[in-house]
Chain A
């Protein structure tokens, strides 16, 4: 019985990821096509995609290679851009940390914005850890598969989706729709408001640092707010 619940959650996660693919596929096509345009052989672009498993860092690395930036500078920039994964790592550690190394390492590698977001939805947080874990595995695997296939397709066929359709815009819209379902009380609304405003103001900071600044501000504001509520005795 445990196995059928695991399987059901796995497929539910994989299925819930599909609406997000509308944004992931064009981004993957662009990432693949740009790598080839830079003069790299297809197998190198694919290896890079699998090693990084991070689209924005990959695009920025292309740019820095073209700009003849120093080795260490490119390395550092990519790592700083990927620091947001540390936040997801913290959020998902209750699920993944207890596992044996042979599962822990691959599941850590599969962390992505989409897999984190889907498995942190309110209705998922209410499920038991086994259900949540299998749901995460389903979403994370599907995201990886769709990403890698889209990049490979991009290296071969290039970008055939007309740019005026702006399909990449489905990525922020999907996160926005998920944001709406996570806001279940006024405190969380204020957290989102502060984090979102900080992110908009700080987006011109280099290395994607605005993201870290915004999330930290939002969480701190939320903690201060709940402290205030506890002290005042209102809820």
Chain B
């Protein structure tokens, strides 16, 4: 691909991505038009999205080209969940999970 084509590609993807981001924001001109059902969907979405974002990355080690099931990462995730139940911040659950991951890696040697 020539340099000009690269620039065109980046601009096209940038514009396309922006339009995806703008999509519903642009369509939904009036917040009051939201039906009860739509509000209900919006309430269910955060756990659905967060679970879809993190569960695959927790279960499988993504560092290698072919992801594999990782017990160490799952143990770290359990520590994070336990701390998150008692802490409202994101900071301590993440620290606890990472400490668990590093400890397990250190103990098992890989």
Among B46, B63, B97, the most chain A Cβ lie within 10 Å of the Cβ of B46
Find out whether the CB atom of A86 lies under 8 angstroms from the CB atom of B23: yes
Known contacts being A203-B60, A219-B41, is A176 close to B80, with CB within 8 Å? Answer: yes
Number of A interface residues in the complex (CB < 8 A):
96
Min distance, Cβ B46 to any Cβ of chain A, angstroms: 4
Find out whether the CB atom of A180 lies under 8 angstroms from the CB atom of B84: yes
Find out whether the CB atom of B49 lies under 8 angstroms from the CB atom of A87: yes
> A48-63: which residues lie under 8 A (CB-CB) from chain B?
48, 50-54, 57, 61
Min distance, Cβ B1 to any Cβ of chain A, angstroms: 6
Known contacts being A22-B94, A65-B1, A104-B25, is A181 close to B84, with CB within 8 Å? Answer: yes
Min distance, Cβ B21 to any Cβ of chain A, angstroms: 5
CA distance A82 to B40 in the complex (A): 24
Min distance, Cβ A191 to any Cβ of chain B, angstroms: 5
Q: B68 within 8 Å of A by Cβ?
A: no
Q: Which residues of A contact B (CB under 8 A)?
A: 16, 19-20, 22, 40, 44, 47-48, 50-54, 57, 61, 65, 68, 71, 74-75, 78-79, 82-98, 104-105, 107-109, 111, 113, 116-117, 120-121, 123, 125, 129, 163-166, 168-183, 187-189, 191-200, 203, 210-211, 214-215, 218-219, 222-223, 226
Q: Which residues of B contact A (CB under 8 A)?
A: 1, 5-18, 20-31, 34, 40-60, 62-63, 67, 73, 76-77, 80-81, 83-85, 88-91, 93-94, 97-98, 101-102, 105
